[in-house]
Amino acid sequence: MAMLLDRRCFLALGSAVLAGSRLARAEAGTVHVAIEKLVFIPAEIEVKAGQTIEWTNRDPFAHTATVKGRWEVMIPPGKTATKVAEQSDSVEYYCRFHPNMKGRITVLS
């Protein structure tokens, strides 16, 4: 019994450490944008080149983050999608399916 408890403690500790490190990495590397009721929240973000932008679509509708002629990220309903920001990504983007949804990315040097 004592051994079982020890093992549980060890496992719990191990997963806590893992979760902690994952969170820290997320804070350092990922900028989050939620999509709710056809709005990018926040609409304007600042990132550093190499950081990941993650869109979380809370709508039952498919959305995109589109920069015409450059890139497009598909964000299915209820899902997340990511893009790594490049130095040239100071842009305005929109949803191709609902062009009244607009956002802006500023890449900090």
Partner 1 sequence: MRSHLIAALGAACLLLAAPLANAQDKPTDPQIAHIAYSAGLIDIEAAKLALTKTETKAVTEFAQSMQKDHEAVNEQALALVKKLNVTPEDNATSQALAKAAEEKRAELAKLDGAAFDKAYIDNEVAYHKQVNAALETLLIPSAQNAELKGLLETGLKLFQGHQQHAEHVAAELK
Binding region for partner 1 (CB under 8 A): 37-38, 60-62, 77, 95-101
| Rounded least distance, CB 6 to partner 1, Å | 49
Q: Which of 63, 42, 56, 62 is nearest to 106 (CA)?
A: 42
Tokens standing for 17?
């450490």
**Residue 62 or 91: which CB sits closer to partner 1?**
62
**Residue 37 or 69: which CB sits closer to partner 1?**
37
| Rounded least distance, CB 65 to partner 1, Å | 14
Phi-psi sector, 69: left (phi>0), alpha (psi -120 to 50), beta: left
